[in-house]
């Protein structure tokens, strides 16, 4: 691969990663402002490509969806989020094509996968949901196989893998609406966004040459991977808390819950992942004991992650990566303060949205440190992969 092609990959990966971060932030804003069902259909909004604006359009929307009256201040948020997600999908497709271009079989797998994704959406709009599902699964499977079989360094494979994740993320967005904010789907949609951002960010870091000159950080890499897994688990738990409307289950008390150290809880009911189809989960369906159990679990998880990442930042600094260690520590403390502020101030929308964004930034600091500990490819070898 020429230096120019590598520069294109680096630029595309960076642009897509930054854009993905913005989509994650806006998605959190939509979810936390209770606008997730403000467009009752998908991918249109009340049957329109954008959203109703004129009075006659609003009247038609209310007539077509009498169970979901049109809310002007919410519908635009959901549909703009879909537009942003679609733009991100286009960027990731371009990245995947460039990364796989010199391997014809992989390139065709990505192209056919993109065609299947488009056909799947069209079939869904026409009401052919069964066939849409199978075509969409092909749209995920083809680039996934290409990513696994691609004989190139990890950054190339990750770039192709990201496209498969984006297609699956689109399906989760559809199910979020059609399954009426089912918590497991909403949490999965959040994790899909975070995963997309993480893959693109790591690919951008590797394309930019972030690495180590030798393999002296093997032990630290293992510790970094453990930290990333713990953080992802805590983000998923945060998504479960949000999707079950349990963020204020303990009121505005911290560190106590409802004025008690051991309030009534129902952990068995709190973590039932599947409750059937047809239930509208908007506003939540759990009682306060179950929601309190979720909130307490989230707090315990936060304590575990805080302790581990605080130790990890110290260890990273002692290994000579002081900037990385300091970045982990600063973002970690910021995230904890935002979490406490969410409770203390009653979940204000700007703070809650920032809490999601800083979680993504904390993940990025860990990924950047992980990339910094990876052994560097020789420049000649790194550039030669496109010519083989």
As annotated, the active-site residues are: 78
* Interatomic CA distance for residues 68 and 25, integer angstroms: 26
Residue 177, SS3 per DSSP: helix
In the numeric block, which tokens belong to residue 116?
């299947």
Write the DSSP symbol of residue 122.
H
* Interatomic CA distance for residues 273 and 373, integer angstroms: 37
Residue 278, SS3 per DSSP: coil
Task: Report yes or no: 244 and 298 within 8 Å, Cβ to Cβ.
Answer: no
The structure tokens 């056919």 sit at: 112
Return the sign of the alpha-carbon dihedral for residues 48, 53, 59, 63: positive
In the numeric block, which tokens belong to residue 132?
């849409």
Write the DSSP symbol of residue 387.
G
Q: How far is CA 329 from CA 67, 246, 317, 335, 337, in A?
A: 48, 27, 10, 10, 12
In the numeric block, which tokens belong to residue 153?
């360094």
Maximal C-alpha separation, the chain: 67
Count other C-beta atoms under 10 Å from residue 327's C-beta: 20
Task: Report yes or no: 255 and 344 within 8 Å, Cβ to Cβ.
Answer: no
Altogether, the residues listed in the chain come to a count of 388
């Amino acid at each position: 691969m020429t230096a120019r092609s590598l520069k294109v990959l680096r630029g595309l990966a960076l642009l897509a990663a930054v854009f993905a971060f913005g989509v994650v932030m806006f998605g959190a804003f939509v979810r936390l402002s209770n606008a997730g069902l403000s467009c009752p259909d998908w991918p249109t909004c009340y049957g329109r490509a954008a959203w109703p604006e004129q009075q006659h359009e609003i009247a038609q929307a209310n007539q077509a969806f009498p169970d979901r009256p049109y809310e002007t201040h919410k519908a635009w948020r959901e549909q703009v989020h879909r537009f942003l997600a679609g733009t991100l999908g286009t960027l990731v497709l371009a990245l995947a094509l460039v990364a796989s271009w010199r391997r014809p079989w992989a390139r065709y797998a990505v192209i056919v996968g993109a065609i299947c994704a488009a056909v799947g959406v069209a079939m869904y709009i026409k009401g052919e949901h069964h066939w849409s599902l199978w075509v969409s699964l092909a749209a995920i499977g083809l680039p996934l196989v290409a990513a696994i079989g691609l004989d190139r360094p990890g950054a190339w494979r990750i770039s192709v893998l990201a496209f498969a994740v984006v297609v699956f993320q689109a399906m989760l967005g559809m199910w979020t609406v059609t399954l009426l904010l089912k918590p497991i789907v909403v949490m999965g949609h959040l994790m899909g966004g975070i995963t997309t951002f993480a893959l693109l960010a790591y690919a951008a870091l590797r394309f930019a040459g972030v690495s180590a000159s030798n393999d002296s950080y093997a032990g630290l890499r293992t510790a970094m991977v453990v930290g990333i897994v713990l953080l992802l688990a805590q983000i998923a738990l945060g998504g479960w808390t949000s999707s079950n409307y349990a963020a204020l289950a303990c009121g505005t008390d911290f560190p106590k819950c409802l004025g008690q150290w051991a309030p009534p809880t129902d952990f068995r009911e709190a973590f039932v992942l599947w409750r059937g189809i047809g239930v509208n989960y908007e506003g939540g369906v759990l009682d306060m004991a179950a929601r309190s159990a979720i909130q307490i679990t989230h707090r315990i998880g936060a304590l575990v992650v805080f302790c581990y990442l605080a130790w990890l930042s110290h260890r990273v600094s002692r290994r000579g990566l002081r900037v990385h260690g300091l970045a982990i520590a600063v973002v970690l403390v910021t995230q904890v303060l935002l979490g406490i502020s969410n409770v203390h101030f009653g979940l204000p929308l700007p703070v809650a949205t920032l809490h999601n964004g800083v979680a993504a930034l904390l993940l990025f600091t860990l990924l950047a440190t992980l990339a910094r500990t990876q052994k560097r490819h020789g420049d000649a070898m790194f550039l030669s992969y496109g010519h083989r």
